[in-house]
Amino acid sequence: MVTDRDYESIMAQLREVMPGLADQLDQEVRHGRAVTEKELRQEGRYEERASRLAAIELPALGKSDVAVIPYTNEERIELIREALITLAETMHATRQAALKTAIERGMELEIWFGDPELEAPSHIVLPEETAQAEATLQTVRELLVHDPETQPEAVL
């Protein structure tokens, strides 16, 4: 069972190493998730919501209505897991596409950023970046993707 403390511990680590991603996840969790009346019934939350609406003299949710409910601790951890997997996949795919394009067009495989007159330029070497992104993707998948045949349980 995942607790608030587990979630906060993971988010604290993310805030240190990936503050932008942590901010996006915090915002998503604060907004909650939209569910239909049918989903509320399936999750066993309909009666609670209906009684709260009745208490303030509002009509019950109809079939076409949508409610916003908080994420459970497990759902919040799943959001983090999905975000990290998607980020790693995107990093790898973009570097792979850039490398492929550069090779096909006979371009330099080293890319420089910045104006040397204003700052010290930085650079990347596409084959190295692509290999590193591939290794990172593999690590993320090993840690976070649950395959019942090879792993008893994913880390998150």
Task: Determine the average pLDDT of the residues in 126-132.
Answer: 97
Most confident by average pLDDT, 3-12, 46-55, 100-109, 145-154: 100-109
* Residue 82: other Cβ atoms inside 10 A: 13
The pLDDT tens digits for 134-154 are: 999 999 999 888 655 544 455
List the chain domain ranges.
72-156
Measured between alpha carbons, how far is 8 from 76 in angstroms, rounded to an integer?
A: 10
154: left (phi over 0), alpha (psi -120 to 50) or beta: beta
What sign results for the dihedral spanned by CA atoms 22, 6, 67, 64?
positive
151: left (phi over 0), alpha (psi -120 to 50) or beta: beta
Side chain identity at residue 7, one-letter code:
Y
pTM score: 0.73
In the block, which residue shows the tokens 């990290």? 84
Instruction: Determine which of 1-15, 36-50, 111-125, 131-145 has the lowest per-residue pLDDT on average.
Output: 36-50
